[in-house]
């Protein structure tokens, strides 16, 4: 994972989660507590409510992200930049200052007047943005965004039916489109990626955002730090039926999840609470094996991969054979209610040298004891009479249980091997596909 130095602030796996506090100098912004157009009042807010509460980065917005409002021109944003610069110069706290803009002219002016990094909400749609950021040696957050009237964004309308027809082996979704959009227009050496949560287009749904958060680990496939902006977003509010003012708890829950899944920067209006939630997420993130590379040594980094699709993202980054992803992840399924033919088929298909590679089946102990075995002499009177067959009767009536442990490739091969033996088993194995992406 590439780490980014943002004016001395480290961002990436080698560093704690960073908190980006929000200041808006736009009266049109949707969340009033962060809106200031007076530099003195804005500076006081930044010192007390942002930096004072633990913000590592102060992100200054010059216009509202509301898609229903007209997009400001570069000239209009430059007119508002004076307020942002006066605020920066009036604060006493220490933080990295970020300017939110889509225009290279605004970024260049802001970086020349004291700002440290850029938050590009249009995914380098301005072709000069990467050059400007590189010339200033500035970190830049690149958001995958939809088109707007002024400049095309990174995301275009996608014909899902045509895409699926071209690649029938895969089902495409909004999260896939966002992932691909992030690569458009390239990267700088200090690019941080933002998968664009929120209502950036009319066609986008709350389900799209939820899928993106669910699959956030995939976005680590680019090997670059991730920024997420999920504070009080509608896709979270609707889960719990909360208004914007009531949405802090759901935002904090999602923050912990995002950091645990690989986010490095959390953009928020609620700095202190979000900082705590991010630290909790970081504490319970997987402790991966990592070692640096000195001269002559081999570097090791254990990737946080939980699905085959996540493995494919890393293989694509390395331009390696993505078929290897089929062996990259082991899944465990508990199967219950297995009829006797299904048990026999699973045991035969996974046992010995002829068994399916990448698949193991372990039968529960009681069911194993009750399963038919070699014929034995009938018990004598001294053995206590007739044997207790209750376990066998229970297994016959309720079915057996066991664990199926397999890679995606092993699961597919197993399905081919045992197909048709038992309808309930066929249905169960098909069901395992739902969570194996």
| pLDDT over threshold 50, residue 214 | yes
When mean pLDDT is compared across 59-68, 163-172, 251-260, 268-277, the lowest value belongs to 163-172
- Backbone angles phi and psi of 228, in degrees to 5: -125, 140
Average pLDDT, the chain: 85
* Helix orientation angle between 74-90 and 104-112, rounded to the nearest 10 degrees: 20
Give CA separation, 72 vs 58, 128, 133, in Å: 21, 18, 21
Q: Which residues of 156-187 are buried (b: 16+ CB within 10 A; e: fewer)?
A: eebeeeeeeeeeeeeebbbbbbbbebbbbbeb
Between CA 95 and CA 86 the distance in angstroms is 15
Q: Which helix (H) or strand (E) is 172 found in, with range?
A: none
Between CA 273 and CA 204 the distance in angstroms is 28
| pLDDT over threshold 60, residue 325 | yes
Burial group, residue 417, by CB count within 10 angstroms (0-12, 13-18, 19+)? middle
| DSSP designation for 50 | I
Tens digits of per-residue pLDDT, 128-140?
Answer: 999 999 999 999 9
For residue 329, what pLDDT band results from cuts at 50, 70 and 90?
confident
| pLDDT over threshold 60, residue 158 | no
Residue bearing tokens 């956030």: 216
The pLDDT of residue 366: 66
For residue 371, what pLDDT band results from cuts at 50, 70 and 90?
low
| pLDDT over threshold 70, residue 379 | no
For residue 304, what pLDDT band results from cuts at 50, 70 and 90?
confident
Q: In degrees to the nearest 10, what's the CA dihedral of 26, 32, 37, 39? A: -120
The proportion of the chain whose per-residue pLDDT surpasses 70, expressed as a percent, equals 80
For residue 375, what pLDDT band results from cuts at 50, 70 and 90?
very low
Higher pLDDT, 398 or 358: 358
The answer to whether the CB of 48 falls within 8 A of the CB of 266 is no
Tens digits of per-residue pLDDT, 171-183?
Answer: 557 788 888 888 8
Tens digits of per-residue pLDDT, 17-76?
Answer: 999 999 998 766 555 667 888 899 999 999 999 999 999 999 999 986 666 667 788 999
Higher pLDDT, 163 or 278: 278
What average pLDDT does this structure show over 165-192? 78
The helix, strand and coil proportions of the chain, stated in percent and rounded to the nearest 5, come to: 45, 15, 40
Between CA 154 and CA 11 the distance in angstroms is 24
- Architecture in CATH for domain 4-285: Alpha-Beta Barrel (3.20)
Between CA 172 and CA 164 the distance in angstroms is 6
Contacts of 3 (CB under 8 A, 6+ apart): 10, 11, 12, 13, 14, 15, 225
Between CA 195 and CA 216 the distance in angstroms is 9
Provide the residue ranges of all domains of the chain, joining segments of one domain with +: 4-285, 330-373+386-435
Tens digits of per-residue pLDDT, 384-428?
Answer: 444 454 444 444 456 899 999 999 899 999 999 999 999 999 999
| β 18-24/117-120 pair status | unpaired
For residue 205, what pLDDT band results from cuts at 50, 70 and 90?
confident
- Backbone angles phi and psi of 355, in degrees to 5: -70, 160
The pLDDT of residue 298: 83
For residue 125, what pLDDT band results from cuts at 50, 70 and 90?
confident
């Amino acid at each position: 994972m590439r780490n980014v130095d943002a004016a001395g602030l480290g961002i990436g796996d080698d560093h704690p989660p960073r908190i980006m506090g929000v200041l808006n100098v736009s009266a049109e912004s949707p969340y009033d507590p962060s809106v200031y157009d007076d530099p003195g009042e804005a500076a006081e807010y930044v010192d007390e409510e942002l930096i004072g509460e633990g913000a590592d980065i102060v992100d200054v917005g010059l216009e509202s992200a509301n898609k229903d409002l007209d997009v400001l021109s570069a000239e209009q944003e430059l007119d508002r930049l004076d307020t942002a610069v006066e605020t920066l110069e009036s604060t006493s706290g220490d933080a990295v200052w970020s300017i939110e803009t889509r225009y290279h002219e605004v970024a260049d002016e802001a970086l020349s007047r004291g700002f440290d990094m850029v938050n590009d909400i249009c995914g380098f749609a301005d072709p000069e943005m990467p050059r400007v950021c590189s010339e200033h040696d500035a970190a830049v957050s690149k958001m995958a965004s939809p088109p707007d009237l002024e400049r095309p964004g990174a995301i275009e309308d996608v014909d899902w039916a045509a895409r699926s027809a071209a690649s029938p082996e895969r089902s495409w979704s909004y999260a896939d489109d966002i992932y691909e959009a992030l690569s458009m227009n390239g990267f700088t050496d200090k690019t941080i990626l933002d998968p664009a949560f929120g209502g950036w287009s009319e066609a986008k749904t709350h389900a799209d955002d939820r899928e993106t958060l669910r699959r956030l680990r995939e976005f680590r496939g680019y090997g670059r730090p991730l920024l997420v902006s999920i504070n009080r977003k509608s896709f979270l509010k609707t889960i719990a039926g909360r208004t914007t003012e009531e949405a802090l708890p759901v935002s904090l829950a999602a923050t912990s999840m995002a950091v645990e899944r690989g986010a490095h920067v959390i953009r928020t209006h609620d700095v202190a609470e979000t900082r705590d939630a991010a630290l909790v997420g970081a504490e319970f993130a997987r402790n991966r094996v990592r070692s640096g590379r000195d001269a002559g040594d081999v570097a090791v980094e254990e990737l946080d991969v939980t699905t085959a699709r996540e493995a494919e993202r890393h293989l694509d980054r390395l331009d390696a054979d993505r078929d290897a992803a089929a062996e990259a992840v082991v899944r465990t399924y508990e199967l219950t209610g297995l009829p006797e033919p299904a048990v026999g088929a699973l045991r035969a298909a996974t046992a010995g040298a002829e068994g399916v590679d990448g698949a193991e089946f372990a039968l529960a102990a009681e069911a194993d004891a009750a399963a038919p075995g070699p014929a034995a002499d009938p018990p004598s009177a001294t053995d206590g009479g007739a044997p207790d067959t209750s376990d066998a009767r229970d297994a016959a009536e309720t079915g057996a249980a066991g664990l199926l442990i397999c890679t995606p490739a092993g699961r597919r091969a197993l399905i081919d091997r045992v197909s048709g033996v038992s309808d309930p088993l066929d249905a169960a194995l098909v069901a395992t596909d739902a969570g194996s992406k």
